[in-house]
Amino acid sequence: MFPVHRPRRLRVRSALRDLVQETSINMRQLIYPMFIRSGKDHQIPIRSMPGIYQWSLDRALEHVAVVQETGVRAILLFGIPETKDPLGQGAYDPDGIVQQALRTLKQHFPQLILIADLCLCEYTDHGHCGVVKDGTIDNDESVKLLAKAAVQQALAGADMVAPSDMMDGRVAAIRQSLDQHGLVNTAIMSYAAKYASAFYGPFREAAENTPEFGDRRSYQMNPANRREAWREVDLDVLEGADLVIVKPAMAYLDVVSDIKARVTVPVVAYQVSGEYSMIQAAAGHGWLDLRQAVEESLLSIRRAGADLIITYFAPQYGQWLQQVR
């Protein structure tokens, strides 16, 4: 082979390297998660996620304006309500925090794609993603409430709802109740393969949803399983998911790759809070270069097959793209 074949020929200068680059990241592929809380004039730092805040709606409007300038076109909303209860009523209250945010953001930023995270865990006093009955999570009762919440989110202006609860059958129930309300164009981006992961650690501080007892392993997936993700994704697509999410991203790139080959709907990977915090922490110590590490992590997720990436780095990445190197 050698000396005929010299792969380095295509690496000798940057224009050549760019010409043969296989994967890239475009701002239109990134989705930025935001935490909205009730009250006024709040920008509360999340200690474990430097640069990420809980925003009251008035301040969120200012932040979204800045974020949009960086090229972000889609945001994913999480709500932190004032009060919590066993049935997570804030999730399906027409005036719940996320519903208020959706209405206001839709009005101020009609071009922005609004995605509502759909789960009960931020709204229940016990912090679980469903209704608790006799110490366990009742699947079918939870699904009913999720379907109600989806309708309220869609009525308030969500372009997509993103169920992250991992109850069985929720995508079908959500699709049915959206359609019954004439909300046929509200898309469902389902967290289809969501693992019970330690990498959600910092999110628990951000969304104040730590389970009061037990953990989420009776509904989220076992990190040891690969083929089970195919099954979860198949079911969600059959039930009507318009996009499917694999979550977390970097520790599950094999799953992202499998799912990309398996389905024809867009594949989304969620670079979760712990992935963000690890990179931030190491960069904060000067142990790695933030920009290079972020770019490489996003490229790896795209290379594995993700069409879209949910990432807390989205606005930061957009700012870097606008700077000359």
**Binding residues vs ligand PBG (CB under 6 A):** 117, 119, 121, 129, 164-165, 200, 203, 216, 272-273
- Told to judge if 84 belongs to the known catalytic residues of this protein, a careful annotator would answer no
Closest distance of CB 269 from ligand PBG, Å: 12
DSSP E strands in the chain: the ranges are 30-37, 43-45, 53-56, 74-80, 113-118, 131-133, 136-138, 160-163, 187-194, 243-247, 267-271, 308-311
Closest distance of CB 1 from ligand PBG, Å: 45
Residue whose CB is nearest to ligand PBG in the complex, by number: 203
* Between 237 and 310, CB nearer to ligand PBG: 310
Residue 311 has which token pair? 């990432």
3-state helix, strand, coil in the chain (%, to 5): 45, 20, 35
* Between 34 and 272, CB nearer to ligand PBG: 272
- Catalytic pick among 84, 133, 148, 194: 194
Closest distance of CB 15 from ligand PBG, Å: 37
- Catalytic pick among 84, 144, 247, 260: 247
- Told to judge if 40 belongs to the known catalytic residues of this protein, a careful annotator would answer no
Closest distance of CB 223 from ligand PBG, Å: 13
* Between 165 and 258, CB nearer to ligand PBG: 165
Closest CA to 188 of 268, 129, 111, 93: 268
* Between 64 and 121, CB nearer to ligand PBG: 121
Closest CA to 53 of 315, 294, 284, 306: 315
Closest distance of CB 47 from ligand PBG, Å: 15
Give the DSSP letter string of 268-308. EEEE-HHHHHHHHHHHHTTSS-HHHHHHHHHHHHHHHT-SE
* Between 203 and 230, CB nearer to ligand PBG: 203
- Neighbour-count burial of 19, counting CB atoms closer than 10 A to its CB (0-12 exposed, 13-18 middle, 19+ buried): exposed
Residues that are catalytic: 194, 247
